[in-house]
């Protein structure tokens, strides 16, 4: 017995095959085009690790800054067994970072790109190559921040409306 498909079923099957091929092509492209970040200067760098819960918008090659000055780049990223992002930061040789320093993912303005800002600590010991920052601050997602601001505004408006209603009832 020969099965035949309706026009709608045949169209759905073709669309499904095309979508599967596109997804397979994307995975193949990502697999075969590993990003290798290289520095534009001839400086020597040493690696440090930083672990974050979320790195939204931060990309390989983005800057690492200290006091607003570029001191390195993000050169690698992978997930640990607890699904935290572990970033490898290349720091220019000669820049010593106190062991109690923190690393935060911040934005260059509202719509700007992300980078890692290092806040130096006061420890007399310094991080050595391949050491990890003890203190990190995840990326702030702008959509979440806007949602928080809107919910605070709504709560304040409801509170003000309730107060105005109570004032009106007390004046009568």
Give Cα 68 distance to the centre of its chain. Answer: 19
Could you tell me where the DSSP H helices lie in the chain? 7-32, 142-171
pLDDT bin (cut points 50, 70, 90) of residue 154 is: confident
Of the candidates 80, 75, 73, 72, the residue with the CA atom closest to the CA atom of residue 52: 80
pTM: 0.61
Q: What is the pLDDT of residue 35?
A: 58
Facing residues of 116 across strands? 64, 105
Kindly state the average pLDDT of the residues 135-154: 82
pLDDT digits (tens, 9 = 90+) for 70-91: 999 999 999 999 999 999 999 9
Please state, in angstroms and rounded to a whole number, the distance separating the CA atoms of residues 33 and 28.
8
pLDDT bin (cut points 50, 70, 90) of residue 39 is: low
Q: Return the SS3 of 111.
A: coil
Please state, in angstroms and rounded to a whole number, the distance separating the CA atoms of residues 55 and 105.
7
Q: What is the pLDDT of residue 164?
A: 73
Q: Report which of residues 170 and 20 the model is more confident about.
A: 20
Q: Report which of residues 140 and 59 the model is more confident about.
A: 59
Asked if 41 and 12 touch (Cβ cutoff 8 Å), the reply is: no
Bridge-based pairing of strands 85-92 and 135-137 is: unpaired
In the sheet that holds 102-107, the strands lie side by side as 45-52, 85-92, 69-79, 63-66, 114-119, 102-107, 135-137
Kindly state the average pLDDT of the residues 132-138: 91
Asked if 113 and 107 touch (Cβ cutoff 8 Å), the reply is: yes
pLDDT digits (tens, 9 = 90+) for 108-129: 876 678 899 999 999 999 999 9
Please state, in angstroms and rounded to a whole number, the distance separating the CA atoms of residues 15 and 137.
43
Tokens at residue 128, please?
A: 């050595």
């Amino acid at each position: 017995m020969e099965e035949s498909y309706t026009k709608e079923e045949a169209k759905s099957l073709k669309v499904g095959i095309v979508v599967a091929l596109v997804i397979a092509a994307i995975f193949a492209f990502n697999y075969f085009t590993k990003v290798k970040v290289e520095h534009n200067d001839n400086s020597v760098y040493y690696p440090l690790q930083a672990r974050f819960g979320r790195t939204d918008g931060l990309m390989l090659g983005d800057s690492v800054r200290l006091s607003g000055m570029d001191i390195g780049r993000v050169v690698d990223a992978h997930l640990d067994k607890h699904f935290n992002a572990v970033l490898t930061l290349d720091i220019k040789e000669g820049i010593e970072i106190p062991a109690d320093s923190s690393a935060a993912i911040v934005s260059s303005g509202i719509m700007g790109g992300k980078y890692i800002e290092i806040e130096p600590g006061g420890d007399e010991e310094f991080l050595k190559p391949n050491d990890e920052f003890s203190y990190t601050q995840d990326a702030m997602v702008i959509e979440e921040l806007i949602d928080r601001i809107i919910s605070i505004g709504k709560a304040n408006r409801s509170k003000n409306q309730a107060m105005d209603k109570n004032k009106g009832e007390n004046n009568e």
